[in-house]
């Protein structure tokens, strides 16, 4: 068999390898599951002072998350245009190793998601990351970022009563930044971003619960993420179910897109290498 005929066969094996690798990689830990993300339209120039400050900020996130579940930073530059504001926060029930892992994963993902953008936000199951060139630290923001409602539970008065009790408990749970509650199989959780005052946090959670009740009604589960707080509940005993269920379809679509992209790229390589190989064979034949 000639070298030209062996090369396409080798590349076909590479296709098979990449395809199987895409399916065989273990799924991410629950804390690393993507919930939402967003980027600013304003962009910075590669190699600029802002990019350098942003890299310093993201590095500070990763370093700080090894010992603190929340921190905020302001990285100053030589001019006001180079200043970067940012914070990260882990879910209140995460251990420090899990927090550190989640933030590190989030930093790597937001660098891809918001490449060259002056602002970005990323919410994973276990942590939240946000940065911008305009200060948002300590500012209450009740803008709805994400809403998810499950299917209706029907006329189950006991379940509806328990759900209502859990949401009431989260509203009146001492004003803490992180709150959990439950009644039987109904479980709920609320959390504010750590830069909010106690009063601002309470106001934000109350607004999120009000929106959750009006928008999701008698749903089996509900997520209401505002810009500076969120409230989640589930009648199945797992308040993260909604995001996991919705993310499965998203992950499948992303995996298919990646596989198709890999196959297309490798196919182009096969065509190119085959063309070069045939040209080399012709040249050798002509030189004899």
pTM of the shown model: 0.73
Residue range 179-201, pLDDT digits in tens: 998 888 889 999 999 999 999 99
What does pLDDT average to over the chain?
81
Residue 152, pLDDT score: 87
Every domain of the chain and the residues it spans = 30-137, 144-234
pLDDT at 48 over 90: yes
Through-space distance between the first and last CA atoms of the chain, rounded to whole angstroms: 20
Q: Are 244 and 33 in contact (CB under 8 A)?
A: yes
205-241 pLDDT per residue, tens = 999 999 999 999 788 999 999 999 999 999 876 655 4
Task: Check residue 160 and give its pLDDT.
Answer: 82
87, 71 in Cβ contact below 8 A?
A: yes
Beta pairing, strands 221-226 & 84-90: unpaired
**Alpha-carbon gap, residue 151 to 1, rounded angstroms:** 61
Is the Cα torsion angle 13, 16, 22, 26 positive or negative in sign?
A: negative
Please compute Rg for the chain using Cα positions.
25
pLDDT in tens, 67-82: 999 999 999 988 999 9
Neighbouring residues of 268: CB distance < 8 A, sequence distance ≥ 6? none
pLDDT digits (tens, 9 = 90+) for 130-170: 999 999 999 999 999 999 999 987 777 788 888 888 999 99
**Quick check: 98 pLDDT over 90?**
yes
What architecture does CATH give domain 144-234? 2-Layer Sandwich (3.30)
268 falls in which pLDDT band (50, 70, 90)? Answer: low
Superfamily for the 30-137 domain: Gnk2 domain, C-X8-C-X2-C motif (3.30.430.20)
Q: Is the pLDDT of residue 43 over 80?
A: yes
Q: How far, rounded to the nearest angstrom, does the alpha carbon of residue 8 sit from its chain's CA centroid?
A: 38
Beta strands 221-226 and 144-149, pairing class: antiparallel
Pick 163 or 249 by higher pLDDT: 163
Q: What is the mean pLDDT of residues 117-122?
A: 98
Q: Say if 30-137 and 144-234 have the same CATH topology.
A: yes
Output the DSSP codes for 101-121: HHHHHHHHHHHHHTTTBS-EE
């Amino acid at each position: 068999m000639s070298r030209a005929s062996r090369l396409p066969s080798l590349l076909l094996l590479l296709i098979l390898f990449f395809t199987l690798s895409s399916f065989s990689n273990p799924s991410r830990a629950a804390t690393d599951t993507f919930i939402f993300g967003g980027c600013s339209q304003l962009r910075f120039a590669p190699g600029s002072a802002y990019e350098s400050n942003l890299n310093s900020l993201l590095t500070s996130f990763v370093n700080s998350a090894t010992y603190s579940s929340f921190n905020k930073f302001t990285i100053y530059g030589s001019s006001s245009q180079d200043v970067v504001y940012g914070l990260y926060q882990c879910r209140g029930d995460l251990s420090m190793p899990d927090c550190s892992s989640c933030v590190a994963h989030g930093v790597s993902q937001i660098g891809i998601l918001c490449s060259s953008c002056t602002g970005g936000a990323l919410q994973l199951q276990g942590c939240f990351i946000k940065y911008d060139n305009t200060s948002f630290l300590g500012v209450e923001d009740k803008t709805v970022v994400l809403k998810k409602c499950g299917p209706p539970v029907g006329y189950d008065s006991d379940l509806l009563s328990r759900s209502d009790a859990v949401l009431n408990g989260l509203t009146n749970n001492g004003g803490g930044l992180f709150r959990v509650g439950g009644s039987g199989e109904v479980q709920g959780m609320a959390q504010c971003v750590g830069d909010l005052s106690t009063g601002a946090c309470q106001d934000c959670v109350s607004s999120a619960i009000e929106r959750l009740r009006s928008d999701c009604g008698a749903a089996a589960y509900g997520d209401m993420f505002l810009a500076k707080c969120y409230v989640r509940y589930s009648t199945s005993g797992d308040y993260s179910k909604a995001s996991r269920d919705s993310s499965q379809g998203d992950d499948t679509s992303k995996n298919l897109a990646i596989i198709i992209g890999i196959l297309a790229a490798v196919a182009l390589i096969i065509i190119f290498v085959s063309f070069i190989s045939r040209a080399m064979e012709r040249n050798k034949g002509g030189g004899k």
